[in-house]
Amino acid sequence: MLQFVEFEEDDGVAIITLNRPEKLNALNRQMATEINAVFREFFDSKSLRVAVYKARGRSFSGGADVVDMRAAFNEAPADAQGEAVKNFTIDFEEVEFCEKPIIAAIQGQCVGFGMTSSLACDIRIAANDAKFCLPEVKLGIASIHGNLRMVKMAGLARAMDLLLTGEMRSAQWALDAGVVNELVPMDALHDTAMAYARAIAAMDPAVIYATRRIGYMSQYSSFSDIVTAGMALRVRSKIDVDYVEAIAGGSRSAGGGARS
């Protein structure tokens, strides 16, 4: 029985919703367990092709629940307090390297865990009132996942502006930095995210997987390795077979024939 996360299915789209609005969807141990469980269900599903990751209430997430985190440390033996952190761990690598796209729909505060988890998604749609922050330096913690993804996504200068100050940044800042894809009014947030999801769900899932995988490999692998892997993925997804037909169909729909 889920307490702090909702999981719905809508015609090939998984809708994963943080549901602890009275605490600004702050991450506690139970929520972390539930998030990992529902994402695993999404990854393993044969019918679900894309997910929308969103939150109830006025904020996406205010970060970690420091009260519950302190309790976890106090409950653990002195020589095992480091292990207590694992109870708050989200498997971001599994989210990023899964075969299916994830779209984050963000409103209000997107802080700490909230921002880090959204950065692991493929597309981020934000309401105009969204605010972004990675406050770890103010808490005496070095950011890891948020650090890695911010540098690759926004570049070193923009990333350090956020990471070294721990200050809140506006939705417009996030858009300009390339952290979010689109800003929309709050009342259009869900529908916009679902429109992206439905468009992706209508595509060939093998082609979506190959395209996504090649894109992510570009961040971590050499050009030659990416090309080699990309060719193998083409074979797997049968892109080569459909490619000529798609080109021909596109040419016909565009008016047909070559331009002089």
Rounded CA-CA distance 179/181 in Å is 7
Task: Give residue limits of the domains in the chain.
Answer: 5-201, 205-253
Which string of b and e fits 9-20 if b means at least 16 CB within 10 Å? eeebbbbbbbbb
Query: Residues 68, 42: contact at Cβ < 8 Å?
Result: no
The reported pTM is 0.84
For the sheet with 169-170, list strands across it: 109-111, 131-133, 169-170
What are the tokens at 96?
């990023």
Reference 11, options 42, 43, 49; nearest CA is 49
The pLDDT assigned to 247 comes to 42
Beta bridge partners, 14, equal 9, 51
The pLDDT assigned to 172 comes to 98
State the helix-helix crossing angle for 205-220 and 223-237, rounded to 10 degrees: 170
Rounded CA-CA distance 181/125 in Å is 6
Reference 145, options 115, 187, 181, 190; nearest CA is 115
Reference 181, options 107, 114, 125; nearest CA is 125
Residues of the chain with pLDDT under 50: 239-245, 247-248, 251-260
CATH of domain 5-201: 3.90.226.10
Query: Residues 36, 16: contact at Cβ < 8 Å?
Result: no
Residue 250: CB atoms within 10 A of its CB come to: 9
Q: Which helix (DSSP H) or strand (DSSP E) does residue 111 occupy? A: strand 109-111
- Residue whose entry in the numeric block shows the structure tokens 């990992």: 36
Query: Residues 6, 17: contact at Cβ < 8 Å?
Result: yes
The pLDDT assigned to 254 comes to 44
Rounded CA-CA distance 55/24 in Å is 9
pLDDT in tens, 83-134: 666 666 777 677 777 889 999 999 999 999 999 999 999 999 999 999 999 9
